[in-house]
């Protein structure tokens, strides 16, 4: 995955338009667009650090030097699909509580 693809993917996950991300990061919308489209492939670390903050990531991730919290493409796709299907943050938190309860119950049953 290229730098531009990583930026675009994170921008879309955050629900930002190009304009919004450019304003939040204090960068040029046209340059950001050219990076996302891989027309510019070597942005400076300083530029990437400006983008990393509103994207909630690190320069290392944008450069492909590290993973983004172990969220691979499958996880990202599943989360996007859940959101498209109408899952809210509250729904997700409720589901997490259910999973925790199921694990607790299974562990409790194993002790008895």
Is-contact 25 51, C-beta < 8 A?
A: yes
| Gap between the Cα atoms of 24 and 31, Å rounded | 14
Domain annotation for the chain: domains and CATH numbers? 3-62 (1.10.260.40), 73-111 (no CATH)
In tens, the pLDDT along 32-64 reads: 999 999 999 999 999 999 999 999 888 888 998
Rounded to two decimals, the pTM is 0.60
Q: What is the pLDDT of residue 69?
A: 57
């Amino acid at each position: 995955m290229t730098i531009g693809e990583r930026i675009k993917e994170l921008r879309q996950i955050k629900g930002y338009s190009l304009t919004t991300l450019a304003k939040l990061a204090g960068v040029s919308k046209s340059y950001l667009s050219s990076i996302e489209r891989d027309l510019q492939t070597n942005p400076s670390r300083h530029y990437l650090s400006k983008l990393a903050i509103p994207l909630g990531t690190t320069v290392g991730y944008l450069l492909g030097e590290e993973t983004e919290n172990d969220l691979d493409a499958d996880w990202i796709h599943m989360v996007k699909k859940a959101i498209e299907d109408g899952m809210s943050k509250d729904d997700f938190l409720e589901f997490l509580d259910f999973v925790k309860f199921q694990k607790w119950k299974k562990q409790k049953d194993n002790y008895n």
